[in-house]
């Protein structure tokens, strides 16, 4: 299972929120690059970089931070927040993103998101499926919806999506453990839907097996191991690192032993 630390950006600074509430903003470092380099120094290879200004503004904002981290580290970056247009996507990839995460656009502009999946392929596009009470939330989690989480994921899998980041908003930043039961339900649904997915394989024959990335509430290395054993492909860690609940040395040891 991949270890994927998160850097959330507001006004070019590394911050964390609780439950996506911008009023709970806490600045952890003035330099996202410094934080990214500390991750890299401990053997971490992946980074989840979120443009929180972009998520509120509905267009990419902090692409210069992305460019700096991408050019000055070897981290493989998935970037999200405010990606709403073809131009936003072009800027993100040109600035060094290896993958992008689309959340709100997958809800509000399905034709554009489907076009991105077709153009850039499933290895480049991640579905952001963030939810509260198993209902999808959008616009930096500022808006709720009536869209059921698991059918939402299932429908996009039928369109070729492989990677899904799922955050239980109630868990995010609370350091109370991840939504293991929710991830179990998602993975079980993926198994049950496999026959239907098989009938909708894209013509090139790509493997559409779900690669679920858990996010929100991860607090201890026991949580990490539980998610690994559950079958998650990746785990995004944020506040647990910044609040020293999980040390970078522990993550380095985990990576070396897996």
Active site residues: 8, 130
**Residue 236 has what DSSP assignment?**
E
Can you tell me whether residue 48 is helix, strand or coil? strand
Q: Is the distance from CB of 139 to CB of 56 less than 8 angstroms? A: yes
Q: Is the distance from CB of 164 to CB of 210 less than 8 angstroms? A: yes
H or E stretch at 90: helix 86-94
Can you tell me whether residue 170 is helix, strand or coil? coil
**Exposure letters 63-84 (e unless 16+ CB within 10 A, then b):** bebbbbbbeebebbbbbbbbbb
252 exposed, middle or buried (CB, 10 Å; 0-12, 13-18, 19+)? middle
CA angle 146, 193, 181 (to 5 degrees): 60
DSSP 30-90: S-HHHHHHHHHHTT--EEEEEEHHHHHHTS---HHHHHHHHHHS--EEEEESS--SHHHHH
């Amino acid at each position: 299972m991949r270890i994927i630390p998160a850097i959330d950006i507001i006004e070019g600074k590394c911050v964390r929120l609780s439950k996506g509430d911008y009023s709970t903003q806490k600045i952890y470092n003035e330099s996202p690059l410094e934080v990214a380099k500390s991750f890299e120094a401990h053997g971490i290879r992946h980074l989840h970089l979120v443009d929180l200004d972009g998520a509120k503004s509905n267009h990419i904002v902090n692409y210069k931070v992305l460019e700096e981290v991408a050019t000055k580290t070897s981290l493989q970056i998935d970037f999200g927040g405010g990606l709403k247009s073809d131009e936003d996507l072009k800027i993100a990839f040109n600035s060094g993103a290896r993958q992008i995460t689309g959340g709100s656009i997958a809800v509000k502009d399905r034709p554009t998101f489907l076009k991105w999946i077709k153009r850039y392929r499933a290895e480049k596009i991640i579905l952001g499926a963030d939810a509260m009470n198993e209902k999808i939330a959008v616009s930096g989690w500022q808006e709720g919806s009536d869209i059921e989480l698991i059918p939402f994921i299932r429908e996009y899998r039928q369109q070729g999506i492989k990677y899904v980041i799922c955050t239980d908003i109630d868990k995010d930043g609370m350091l109370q453990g991840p939504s293991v039961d929710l991830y179990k339900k998602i993975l079980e649904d993926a198994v049950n839907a496999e026959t239907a997915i098989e009938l909708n394989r894209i013509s090139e024959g790509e493997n559409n097996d779900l690669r679920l990335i858990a996010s929100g509430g991860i607090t201890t290395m026991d949580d990490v191991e539980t998610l690994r054993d559950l079958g998650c492909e990746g785990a995004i860690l944020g506040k647990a690192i910044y609040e020293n609940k999980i040390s970078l040395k522990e993550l380095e040891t985990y990576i070396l032993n897996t």
